[in-house]
């Protein structure tokens, strides 16, 4: 499968929390790294997402917000992944920031050039990537 999403994480479903309309699905993707997503109950059943099932998570780079100096902040976004900046590629308006996550995989974020300057992002900078559960698309191989 090919997609335009810059971030794909393969993993195993570790928990499912059923709701009236939407269900919350937690996926362990690498070395204890967990990504949480919400999907409709119908989609969860159609995909066969249950504890132990193999699945993958897709996250668009433009759905990711980057934070620095976030140690004293609590956020409602469930997905908060910390790491070090591996590279910053500057474009005309936006730049791609690739992050080496503490648990092993890489994550790409697309932010404005102004934001990269304001955050003083450079190779080796500590950064936290956040994204909401609604920004995660889950899939399974068939």
Instruction: Read off the pLDDT of each residue in 113-137 and give the average, rounded to a whole number.
Output: 96
Instruction: Read off the pLDDT of each residue in 84-94 and give the average, rounded to a whole number.
Output: 96
What is the spatial distance between Cα 82 and Cα 33, in angstroms, rounded to a whole number?
Answer: 10
What is the spatial distance between Cα 19 and Cα 78, in angstroms, rounded to a whole number?
Answer: 17
Which domains are present in the chain? 7-60+132-139 (2.40.50.100), 61-130 (2.40.50.100)
pLDDT digits (tens, 9 = 90+) for 38-69: 999 999 999 999 999 999 999 999 999 999 98
Does 1 score more than 80 pLDDT? no
Does 70 score more than 90 pLDDT? no
Provide CB contacts within 8 A for 136, sequence distance 6+: 35, 36, 37, 38, 57, 58, 59, 79
pLDDT at res. 71? 78
Q: Model-level pTM?
A: 0.92
| SS3 of residue 31 by DSSP | coil
Q: Identify the band that residue 34 occupies on the pLDDT scale cut at 50, 70 and 90.
A: very high
Alpha helix (H) residue ranges in the chain: 41-47, 113-118
Backbone angles phi, psi at 38, to 5 degrees: -115, 140
Two structure tokens written together for 73 = 């902040």
Does 24 score more than 80 pLDDT? yes
């Amino acid at each position: 499968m090919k997609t335009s999403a810059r971030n794909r994480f393969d993993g195993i479903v570790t928990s499912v929390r059923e709701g009236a309309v939407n269900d919350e699905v937690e996926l362990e993707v690498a070395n204890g790294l967990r990504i949480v997503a919400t999907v409709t109950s119908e989609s969860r059943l159609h995909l066969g997402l249950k504890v132990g099932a193999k699945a993958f998570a897709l996250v668009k780079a433009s759905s990711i917000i980057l934070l620095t100096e976030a140690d004293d902040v609590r956020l409602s976004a469930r997905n908060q992944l910390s790491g070090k900046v591996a590279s910053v590629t500057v474009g005309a308006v936006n730049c791609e920031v690739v992050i080496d996550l503490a648990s092993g995989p890489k994550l790409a974020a697309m932010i404005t050039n102004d934001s990269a300057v304001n955050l003083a992002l450079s190779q080796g900078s500590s950064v936290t990537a956040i994204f909401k559960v609604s920004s995660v698309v889950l899939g399974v191989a068939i």
